[in-house]
Structure 1
Amino acid sequence: MRTPRRVLVLFLATLILGGCAAVGPDYTPPTLAASQIPANFGTVPPGLDMRTVEVAWWQAFDDPALTSLIERALAANHDIGMAAARVEEARALAGEARQGFLPRGAVVLGHENRRRSDVELMPGQPRRTETYRGAVDASWEVDLFGRIRRSVEAAEALAGSRAALLRGVQAGIAASVAATWFELQGIDAELAVVVEISASQRDSLGLVERLLQAGAATEFDRLRAEALLRDAEAVVPELKRRRAASVNALAVLLGEAPQTFRAPPATPARETLSLRTIAIGDPVALMTRRADVAAAERDLAAATARIGIETAGLYPDVQVEGSIGLVAGSLDAISGRAVSGLLAPVLRWSFLDSGRVRARIAASEARGREALIAYEQTVLRALQEADDAFEAYGAAGRTLELRLSESAANREVARLARARFSAGEGIYLDVLEAERSDFASRRALVAARTQQRLAVVSIHKALGGGWEACAQAGLDCSGASGTPSWRAPN
């Protein structure tokens, strides 16, 4: 009996030592050419520099209501909660894959009561027999060609991709809350302009009606004044609809029912946005911060590992099966002599399926090339979004400057036109045209202020920042107010 045992031990040792290598390509992170990742962002508008990007960028607006809304959304948003659940699922599946290195087993308890037929019955044997069996059966796959290791690599890479996507959702939600809040502020500011203009138009209409009674104006002038008032008032219903839509969107972002949500009072927007210089970092830092780039890189790692999983199908599958237990004809007969054991190495090789396996390998290699191209495309889109956001910020700043000048000029023209008409100089048509231009320019100014704030949000969204704040102590980024809190790695 010693010789077979020695052979078995030698056989198992050979398998274990041979299992140090895994078939298929080993993953190495992709490197991009300098043409794809420039050293800097090139010429950027004034107000941007290459310092390290701020983590909680929304605090630069000095708006406590905005900060509170973003923190509430990070804790309660359902998209974040679903992304966190997907991370939890992926990590659990990675843990299951790691269990492949360990033996599988089960406890088996059985009782057999058998009655032999006349054909089966041998002389001297009882017709009825009983067998009691209790055993622990186990099997262990020897990872000779790395199938299990590649499976673990793929599962862990998928978990890393899901974690990166969670960070992307957190950053996106923070940007969406800020954008919705600024849109709401802009609508409220536009409503205030409409209310002020409407009050001015009512005064003008009253003036024209008094002049009409005195014979100094015509019915045509009164109708024109009334039409201008109604034109200003007609804007209100649409603005209120847009405001309700923004409040509802904000409620959903915060994980609350729109019917019961109450938005905090919006503070009036300043004439210009007083922000510190916006730090944008450099393209290399952008690649490490963008969650979609990190997710694409982990997807590439998973696709590379799956090539090894399919390649292992070309080689034998080696397992060791064993069992140890007790077998007796009755419960009274259970003793040391009833111990039963089995140890059996098993080799399975489906060499006749090599054509199918090679087809699956070719398919996995194609998916790996697709994942690499997707990664490169994600990098290029990140650079595109950053450059677009920088250009939009510069354009928004220039537009706001022009709108400020235009609005100031039109407001002065309207004042002078009303003063001249009240003094009996000029015609009322001049007043109407001046007030119409004043109304349009003041609304355009409000839109320009809002657009400048949205441009700042777009920069931080393109930079992929904000999720880093989830690593700060005391900030809940779990989403849905009840899912496990998955925070960004330090």
Structure 2
Amino acid sequence: MRYPVVLLIGTTLSLSACAVGPEYRAPVTASLGVPDAYTTRQGAALDDTALADWWRSFNDPVLDGLIQQAISNNLDIAQGVARLDQANEALRQAGASYVPSVSASGSGGRNFRQGTSGAILDSNGNVVGNSSGGGSSNQYSGSLRASWEIDLFGRIGRTVEASRADLEASGYSLASVRTSIIAETVRNYISARLAQERLKIAREQLATAQDNLDIARWRVEAGLVSSLDQEQARAQLAQQTAAIPQIETGLANALNRIAVLTGQAPGEATRALETPAPVPTAPTDIATGIPADTLRQRPDVRQAERALAAATARIGVAESALYPQLSISGNVGTSALSLGSLGDIITGSLFGNLAQLIFDGGATASRVRAQEAAARGAFSAYKSTVLVALEDVENALVADRNARQRVTQLLIAYDAASNSAILARSQYQAGLTDFQTLLTAEQSLLSARDGLATARADQVQAVAQLYSALGGGWQTTNAPTPGTQTPNAPNGLPE
């Protein structure tokens, strides 16, 4: 009986490579609608090293420190790490099905029973001694049980393949969270520095408005103008004062958000950032590469591709249920009345079980079709992610171009408004013009200064948006690499 069983095992192992279901191949760029170049700019080849730490191009040590805190302490990233660990354990569990499952049991006890004739019986009714007053005996047993499913049509292999793709997708999900956290930290830092710049402008303009009111009051008291000038100056001062709390609110919101992004409670965590500092300067030339680079650099795109791979592998898992399933089980046991004789007699059995689905009302076939539909949906999600990524890059390129143009024009506007305000003030003090002209010039200067500061910050934000759209910020993480082979044995599993 031993030789047919050995022959059966050898035959089934040779057939275990016959995995059912489609073999996954990553879609080519043509099927995803990826163009050859961006419409807005023809960029040079991407520098992966510069892209990985793109925020360092702003040359702001404070920002660099905040990014490192966010990477180390952000709780969304911590959740992503936990999900990655879960996926890794799921892969280990799937791979464990390659090897037999073995369990052991043992028991020991004391049996006693008094028969009517004085015979001592064990728990099974067997005579183990004689005594008119009763008797007892020891009994010990031990056994090993093993079961093993032969992966005849690749159910286990496809499950491992799907779990490995899930693990890789979780790694890219973590990378995507990291890029988002970095980008959000940069955005809020720029917003905070812009708010500080706007506060500086507003307070300087507030001092000018106070001077205007003093001049208007003096001229009214001297009888040179009517009280209309004084009331207009009061209105200007009040409006300028009212604008400051709104800017301070924006600053507080940005600082509080930075604290949370770095895994800390708002308040003391960002106290050092309350000291005003200028908005970082954006680099002027950014290599964007070609759209095909987006598929390589964007972690969300790679995550979607791995999700498609997992969905494709699960078609094979579902389809394997339509084919025979072979399992082998056996046990070895021994029992004795004393520990010394345990093992004198050993019994065992070995069984092979072949099961084939005959009829289930079409439920299994329906599950195969459902998984095929899931794979089609995963492909659509993958293509959508690719197109959204390309959209993000195009939008960021437009924002960067237009922000630079706005800065150029607002520099001209600021220069003109500054000259106009100086002339209007000197003419009003000399009595050569009315207060309304001075008021209009001062408001134009405030608008030009504030607009220029905002445009410069928008330019930096556009650069940050572009780097994020290109997929920068995760390349130094240990995300799993797609395309690894599905293991054929337990030693192919990751450590």
Same fold (TM over 0.5): yes
Give 1:359 shift.
0.9
What SS does structure 2 have at the residue aligned with 1:396?
helix
Which of 18, 21, 24 is residue 21 of structure 2 equivalent to?
Answer: 24
The answer to whether the aligner puts 1:407 opposite 2:402 as a matched pair is no
Residue number in structure 2 paired with 1:483: none
Determine if contact 2:330/2:348 at 8 Å carries over to the other structure. yes
* More moved, 109-118 vs 251-260: 109-118
Contact 1:327 1:340 in 2 (8 A): no
Structure 1 vs Structure 2: percent identity of aligned residues? 33
Which of 440, 446, 462 lines up with 2:447 in the alignment? 440
What residue number does 1:465 align with? 472
Kindly provide the amino acid, as one letter, of the partner of residue 446 in structure 2: F
Q: Judge which range, 338-347 or 147-156, deviates more.
A: 338-347
Report the more deviating stretch, 109-118 or 192-201. Answer: 109-118
Distance in 2 separating the partners of 1:27 and 1:233: 65
Q: 1:302-353: CA deviations, max 9, x gaps?
A: 10111111111112221111112322244454242x2121211112223222
Looking at structure 1, the residues matched to 368 and 188 of structure 2 have their Cα atoms a distance apart, in angstroms, of 48
**Which residue of the other structure, out of 432, 437, 456, is the alignment partner of 1:449?**
456
Aligned: 1:334 with 2:331:
no
**CA 1:124 to 1:67, structure 2 compared with 1: closer, same or farther past 3 Å?**
closer
Partner in structure 1 of residue 67 of structure 2: 70
Aligned to 2:292, which of 281, 284, 290? Answer: 284
> For 2:321, what is the secondary structure of its paired residue?
helix
- 1:141 maps to which residue? 149
Q: Aligned in 2, Cα 1:35/1:81: closer, same or farther, shift over 3 Å?
A: closer
Partner SS for 1:340 = strand
Letter in 2 for 1:310: A
Normalising by structure 2, we get a TM-score of 0.88
- Measured at CA, do residues 240 and 399 of structure 1 come closer, stay the same or move farther in structure 2, by a change above 3 Å? same
Q: Could you tell me the TM-score, scaled by structure 1's length?
A: 0.89
How many residue pairs match? The answer is 462
RMSD (Å), alpha carbons: 2.5
User: Are residues 202 and 70 of structure 1, via their aligned partners in 2, closer, same or farther at CA, if it must alter by over 3 Å?
Assistant: same
**Aligned mates of 2:3, 2:164 — CA distance in 1:** 38
The 1:83–1:412 alpha-carbon spacing in structure 2 relative to 1, beyond 3 Å, is: same
Partners in 2 of 1:98 and 1:146 — Cα distance?
A: 12
Aligned residue identity for 2:213: L
- Which digits, 9 at most, give the CA deviation of each residue in 1:371-393, with x for residues without a partner? 01111111111111110110111
Compute the displacement of 1:111 (Å). 4.6
Report 1:33-432 matches (<5 A).
33=30, 36-44=33-41, 49-53=44-48, 54=50, 55-111=52-108, 125-126=126-127, 132-262=140-270, 263-264=272-273, 265-269=275-279, 273=281, 275-331=283-339, 333-336=341-344, 338-353=345-360, 355-432=362-439
Letter aligned with residue 228 of structure 1: Q
Comparing 169-178 with 320-329, which one deviates more in the overlay?
320-329
Q: 1:115, 1:129 within 8 Å by CA — same for their partners in 2?
A: no
Unaligned runs of 5+ in 1: 473-490
Q: 1:109 to 1:429 in 2, by over 3 A?
A: same
1:70 and 1:253 map into 2 onto residues whose CA distance is 9
Determine the structure 1 residue equivalent to 2:9.
12
Report how far residue 403 of structure 1 moved: 1.4
What displacement does 1:115 show? 7.4
Please give the per-residue CA displacement for 1:406-437, whole angstroms capped at 9, x wherever unaligned.
Answer: 12211211110010111120111111111112
Pair 80,116 (structure 1): closer, same or farther in 2 beyond 3 Å = farther
Confirm or deny: 8 A CA contact 2:194 2:453 kept in the other structure.
yes
Amino acid across the alignment from 2:7? L
In the TM superposition, what is the alpha-carbon distance from 1:210 to its structure 2 partner?
1.0
State whether residues 400 and 459 of structure 2, in contact with CA within 8 Å, keep that contact through their aligned partners in structure 1: yes
Range 104-113 or range 277-286, more displaced:
104-113
1:477 maps to which residue? none
Q: SS of the counterpart of 2:21?
A: coil
Q: Which moved more, 1:462-471 or 1:426-435?
A: 462-471
Q: Distance in 1 between matches of 2:79 and 2:223?
A: 72
Asked if the contact 2:73–2:263 (Cα under 8 Å) also holds between the matched residues in 1, the reply is yes
Query: How far apart are residue 188 of structure 1 and its match?
Result: 0.4
Kept after mapping to 2: 8 A contact 1:134/1:327: yes
Q: Which amino acid aligns with 1:269?
A: V
Q: What amino acid does structure 2 have at the position aligned with 1:82?
A: Q
In structure 2, what is the Cα distance between the partners aligned to 1:413 and 1:137? 95
Measure, in 1, the Cα distance between the counterparts of 2:278 and 2:421: 24
Over 6 Å off, 4+ runs: 114-118, 127-130
Cα displacement (A) at 1:32: 2.7
Instruction: Letter of the 1:409 partner, please give it.
Output: A
Shift of 1:180: 0.6
CA distance in 1, matches of 2:45, 2:387: 19
Deviation string 1:12-57 (CA, Å, 9 cap, x unpaired) is 1111111121111111111131781222213428xx5444352211
